[in-house]
């Protein structure tokens, strides 16, 4: 499938690579995300962009919150796991250790840091939804350099 117009040019843009976790308990999932940014200091807010056709999008539409799990440069394999499309009987989150925020959202235990957010707005952007969240809980979990698209990972169709 094509990435559309300006594939080469847009492919130059640098990004971090995180896993966004959504949902609670058995109704939960995680997906690799690089189109993500802080968008406000006060209050602290983050946004990410999610393809309207992803399985995770159904969960995002139903859930009032999400967690950004910042990955380290030693977590390429984990990123690849969460970049796989969800299969009917698969729970991608079972493959890695998780813990919970105070509100019960799912955190990847080995992330560098996490940011739990309440969804405050969603905006349509072509093929994607932009999801904006206000940070309600966050912590740095360990030292390390962040995983970025410079490590050979890239969001492609």
152: left (phi over 0), alpha (psi -120 to 50) or beta: left
Position 96 contacts ligand FMN (CB under 6 A): no
SS3 55: helix
Nearer to ligand FMN, 35 or 102 (CB): 35
Note whether 7 binds ligand FMN by CB under 6 A.
no
Could you tell me which stretch among 66-74, 82-90, 104-112, 115-123 binds ligand FMN (CB under 6 A)?
Answer: 82-90
Which residues partner with 62 through β-bridges? Answer: none
- Kindly tell me which of 14 and 43 has the beta carbon lying closer to ligand FMN: 14
Among 16, 35, 141, 151, binds ligand FMN (CB under 6 A): 35
Residues 118, 67, 38, 4: is their CA dihedral positive or negative?
negative
| Cβ-count burial 26-36 (b if 16+ within 10 Å, e if not) | eebbbbbbbeb
- For the chain, state the CA radius of gyration: 15
Is 50 among the residues that bind ligand FMN (CB under 6 A)?
A: yes
Shortest Cβ 54–ligand FMN spacing (Å): 4
Least separation in angstroms between residue 5's CB and ligand FMN is: 18
The binder of ligand FMN chosen from 7, 11, 85, 145 (CB under 6 A): 85
């Amino acid at each position: 499938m094509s990435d559309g117009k300006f594939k080469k040019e847009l492919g130059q843009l640098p990004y971090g690579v995180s896993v966004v976790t959504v949902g609670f308990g058995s109704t939960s999932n995680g997906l690799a995300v690089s189109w993500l940014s802080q968008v406000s200091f006060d209050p602290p807010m983050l946004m990410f962009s999610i393809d309207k056709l992803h399985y995770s999008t159904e969960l995002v539409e139903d859930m009032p919150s999400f967690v950004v799990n910042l990955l380290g440069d030693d977590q390429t394999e984990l990123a690849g796991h969460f970049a796989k499309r969800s299969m009917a009987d698969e729970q991608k989150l079972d493959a890695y250790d998780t813990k919970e925020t105070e509100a019960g959202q799912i955190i990847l235990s080995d992330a560098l840091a996490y940011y739990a957010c309440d969804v405050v707005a969603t905006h349509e952007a072509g093929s994607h939804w932009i999801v904006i969240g206000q940070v309600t809980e966050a912590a740095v979990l360990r030292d390390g350099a962040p995983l970025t698209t410079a490590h050979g990972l890239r969001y492609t169709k």
